[in-house]
Structure 1
Amino acid sequence: MNRRKAITRIMLFGGAGAAIAGGVGYHHFNKTPDLRDLDQYLPLIAELAEVIIPETDTPGAKSAGVHDFIVTMIRDCSSRKVQNRFMYGLEDIASYARAQYGKSFVHCRMEDKAAIVGHFEKKSKPWGGLMGKVSSRLFGDSFFITLKKYTVMGYCTSMQGATKAMAYDYIPGRFQGCVPLQPGQRCWATE
């Protein structure tokens, strides 16, 4: 066998292996997800949202009902790719918490929850450049990016978030494009 034939065969087998792996990955994220399990993850979603927006002198994400908003958005307003990545992300967090701390995420201490969320935030950092665009296009947003986006969106549009965490003017009056904030003033909930 000469060198050219060997290199050609190696390239063919390598290309075929990459195509098969890509096809399996593409199918993995584009299959129809089983969203019946989403209800059993509701306490986990509530705790994750509470770690992202904790309760301080203002209400947290759990008391604002953000977890119900997240489930509704995943079920009714997200693509299959995002739904699959979200379900796989919930499974990953549940198994990671059991492996690292020996208990479920819901029963971990707040410091442990913050460490788990920090780990998954670092893990889900998107690639830069062309590879990041291709990955986002083929597989959708990562689990943690979706979770943060829906948590903030749900909190800012909830009654408690808009009225108790942000400055809310029920009848804003005339339009002012740029209003300087006073020291200690909260951001505006109305635009």
Structure 2
Amino acid sequence: MNRRDALKKSALALGAAAGAPTLLSLLQACAKTDRLTWTPQFLAENQARFISSFVDFLLPKTETPGGLDVKADVFIDLMYAKTYDEAGQKQIVADIEKFNADCKEKFGKIFAELSEEDKTACFKEHEANSPKFPKTVWGGAVGPREPVGLYRGLKSTVLWAYFSSEEIGKNVLSYDPIPGEYLGCIPLSDVGNTWSL
């Protein structure tokens, strides 16, 4: 299984729990933002560079659009600006600065300036050591909800933003805004591509 397929499956599992109308409206607003004139609403320039680098490394452009193509980084900045309270915003800034400081200590540069190999090593380390999301039943967490940290939380948000974007929903995933008859028992091979609806 390649990385894109693994991320797609992870995002689909998280998408149902993370979806909210407020976030969808922010994502739609980002689609109209021109990348060349984009000024972060909340993040400082170095923090916005971190988010953009994280998004681009997690979801690079291949035969399908990448995370930057659907402006997931713009969405994340807007989400921090519009939906996080002051304490949450301070925590995000502190977490980004710590992430960059750790990269500088281990690799000699901040995340945005790392080579592909060093970014891969950084991601592998955080994947192995970051807390996991709690198990869920029908979209609700089971057991205590511990903080998952910047890496896991940001990764989840990037995937949600990517797969919730209009570009991916309509042009990459299968999309049928007016579904036809219900076929409840068909072979899985007949389902085809992953569906956005």
| TM-score by shorter chain over 0.5 | yes
**Aligned residue pairs, count:** 150
Contact 2:42 2:80 in 1 (8 A): no
- 1:161 pairs, out of 168, 175, 183, with 168
When normalised by structure 1's length, the TM-score is: 0.63
Matches within 5 A, 1:150-189: 150-176=157-183, 181-182=188-189, 185-189=192-196
The alignment status of 1:93 with 2:95, answered yes or no, reads: no
Following superposition, the deviation at residue 36 of structure 1 comes to: 7.5
CA distance in 2, matches of 1:127, 1:150: 13
Following superposition, the deviation at residue 52 of structure 1 comes to: 2.2
Match of 1:115 in 2: 121
CA distance in 2, matches of 1:183, 1:109: 42
Residue type matched to 2:80 in 1?
A: I
Gap regions ≥5 residues in structure 1: 1-34
Q: Which has a greater percent of helix?
A: 1
CA RMSD after TM alignment: 3.2
Gap regions ≥5 residues in structure 2: 1-39, 136-142
Larger Rg: 1
Instruction: Show CA shifts across 1:104-153 (max 9, x none).
Output: 32222222112212222333214989xx827x3xxx44212320221111
Percentage identity across paired residues of the two chains: 24
CA distance in 2, matches of 1:122, 1:92: 18
Match of 1:60 in 2: 66
CA distance in 1, matches of 2:185, 2:95: 40
Q: 1:71 to 1:36 in 2, by over 3 A?
A: closer
Following superposition, the deviation at residue 42 of structure 1 comes to: 1.3
Match of 1:51 in 2: 57
Instruction: Show CA shifts across 1:52-103 (max 9, x none).
Output: 2232211111111000111122222235554344222211221122222223
Residue type matched to 1:39 in 2?
A: A
